[in-house]
Structure 1
Amino acid sequence: MDYIITTDSNSDVPSEVLNQYGIPVIPQYYAFGDVVYGDEKNMTPKEFYETMRKGDLPKSMANNPAVIREKFETILKKGKDILHIAFSSALSGSCNNVRMTAKELLEEYPERKITIFDSLNASLGEGVSVYRAAELREAGKCMDEVCEVLKEERDHVNVWFTVDDLHHLQRGGRVSKTTAIVGSMINIKPLLRVTASGELKSDGTVRGRKKALKTLVTNMEKSLELGEYGKDRLVCILHGDCMDDALAVKRMVNDLGFERIVINDVSPSIGTHAGPGVVGLVYYGRKRE
């Protein structure tokens, strides 16, 4: 085909899938103190979350325009167009960095085409669109056709998640300090979702970890529109170094009749804000609000 699909590391697509479909990835960055990670220097998810558990607090940073340019220009020089699937523009400046770099490059390569698809989603919520685009491309769809499908389906890609420690949400301004302290004392677990505009929204609380995980699946079951999206659709489970909890969610999703399930780690640049123990569920369902 005459185009290449690209994405960023916040999409959390497993490396073997990226390799299978030849999808270049633009890194998102994170740092502990003065040490920046994201390019050649990286931590495994387990190392990252263990460092957080010990009390070190990371920070995240957007992508690097120079790196975007290098990766895109390599593709353009080969005579290929680009379909880039981006992290939600409502959560980061990364999508805008890609847009600005693409605009500059198209002035130098006017015969080429770069399309930026804003997933308005995060982690494997973004990653689901990467999977979908790759499969459609393999089926022979052109870039414009793929983009149309992604746009039609974007609002149907639902992401619900829960965190194990409210203090990480408090650091990111999602809950107050008082809520974090009191909620932690009485074992309150928040439920959050990604809205249609690509923002994070708190959507209730439950008491206890098991109840939180069960509620993720209950919300999925309520949202399913199987007339439009059948049980052959991909379901993704994301986690912050808590595989046992991810597997527990997988068993509940299996009980709903879904077999095509991907589990992967939450990347450090997102895990910075969610912390160890985050668990999320991604599926096609009713339109996001």
Structure 2
Amino acid sequence: MNQSYVILTESSSDLTPELAEQAGAEVLPLSFTMEGKNYPHYPDQRAMSIPEFYERMRNGAVAVTAAANVAELTDGMEVHLRQGKDVLFLCFSSGLSSTRDACAIAARELQEKYPERKIYTVDTLAASAGQALLVLLAGRKQKAGASIEEARDFVEETKLHVAHWFTVDDLTYLKRGGRVSPTAAAVGTMLNIKPVLHVDDEGHLIPMEKVRGRKAALAALVKQMRETVVHPEEQTMMISHACCREEAESLRESVLAEFHPKELMTLDLGPIIGAHTGPGLMALFFLAEHR
């Protein structure tokens, strides 16, 4: 393992403590506010558990997120720079948050203070388990001996092949965030319309199609994988869900039966993304010809 550098990311990646350890990465917390109180989200869910977060949402609580604090990012990087380590920071998509800008500001300031150290930030253009997948793969490169530049370049070359496909069960949260209009949300709810969305090459959340019913929406995720996946039997893939574990297990069985991936992990969607999608999200993440 190349121990000359450390990989950092934020909790928008939804990495569990076990996966962070497997990747050899450190996860800096992003925060959300609910019912007037601010909560930093750590992989071990110490401030608020993910089930409690979604239960509160179901009971009407509104969660709001904010970009990372530059000072906190600076502190998170500097502790490693002081120890003589270089830093590779894999950032939350700039198409979904200004966190990447805060990260870049922190890196520039630290580079002046530590000119002998290497500090690289990469806009993953990814979120949730898509971001987690890039961190995990980069960590495996590091463990195989890759230099910090080789790991950085690998992420840059791979990120636009990380497909994010997902659906939500309740349009209320997308309406609140301006992703769908109030009229579309009302009509969609009445007709049981479920949107199928993805994250595009600019890292933005884009609605791609509308289907009727949850079962059809989940089938649409598998269809998208079928059309674009490359060498599934060699891949690590991920499923992400927001408190709908039984459906996640069913989706997992479908993916295993059809695509036989080398590895298929199931992650809980954390509050940083879940604040905008609500409970009931289901998502597939995999390497594809294109996003």
Residue 284 of structure 2: aligned partner: 281
Residue 236 of structure 1: aligned partner: 238
Q: Distance between the aligned counterparts of 1:278 and 1:125, measured in 2?
A: 14
Deviation at 1:225, TM superposition (A): 2.7
Please state if 1:137 is matched with 2:139.
no
Q: Distance between the aligned counterparts of 1:207 and 1:244, measured in 2?
A: 20
SS in 2 for 1:236: strand
* Letter of the 1:269 counterpart: I
The equivalences for 1:93-104 within 5 A come to: 93-104=98-109
Please state if 1:15 is matched with 2:20.
no
From 144, 147, 154, the equivalent of 2:152 is 147
Please state if 1:173 is matched with 2:175.
no
From 245, 249, 254, the equivalent of 1:252 is 254
The equivalences for 1:1-289 within 5 A come to: 1-38=3-40, 42-226=47-231, 230-255=232-257, 256-288=259-291
Q: Distance between the aligned counterparts of 1:219 and 1:252, measured in 2?
A: 13
| Misfit runs of 4+, over 3 Å | none
SS in 1 for 2:174: helix
Deviation at 1:71, TM superposition (A): 1.2
Partners of 2:200 and 2:206 within 8 A in 1: yes
CA deviation profile, 1:21-71 (whole Å, cap 9, x unmatched):
442212111111320001686211100000000011111111121211111
Partners of 1:87 and 1:126 within 8 A in 2: yes
TM-score for the superposition, normalised by structure 2 = 0.95
* Letter of the 2:11 counterpart: S
Aligned residue pairs, count: 285
Partners of 2:11 and 2:41 within 8 A in 1: no
Partners of 2:92 and 2:123 within 8 A in 1: yes
Q: Which runs of 5+ in 1 are unaligned?
A: none
TM-score for the superposition, normalised by structure 1 = 0.96
Q: Distance between the aligned counterparts of 2:220 and 2:263, measured in 1?
A: 20
Deviation at 1:258, TM superposition (A): 1.6
Q: Distance between the aligned counterparts of 1:144 and 1:259, measured in 2?
A: 27
SS in 1 for 2:178: coil
* Letter of the 1:280 counterpart: A
Partners of 1:26 and 1:63 within 8 A in 2: no
Partners of 2:23 and 2:135 within 8 A in 1: no
CA deviation profile, 1:235-277 (whole Å, cap 9, x unmatched):
1000101111111111111012224011111110110000000
* Letter of the 2:175 counterpart: Q
Q: Distance between the aligned counterparts of 2:249 and 2:89, measured in 1?
A: 31
Partners of 1:85 and 1:130 within 8 A in 2: yes
* Letter of the 2:156 counterpart: K
Q: Distance between the aligned counterparts of 1:164 and 1:216, measured in 2?
A: 14
* Letter of the 2:89 counterpart: H
Partners of 1:9 and 1:26 within 8 A in 2: yes
Partners of 2:32 and 2:41 within 8 A in 1: no
* Letter of the 1:156 counterpart: H
* Letter of the 2:237 counterpart: V
Identity of aligned pairs, percent?
38
Partners of 1:191 and 1:203 within 8 A in 2: yes
SS in 1 for 2:279: coil
Q: Distance between the aligned counterparts of 2:289 and 2:41, measured in 1?
A: 37
Q: Distance between the aligned counterparts of 1:258 and 1:235, measured in 2?
A: 7
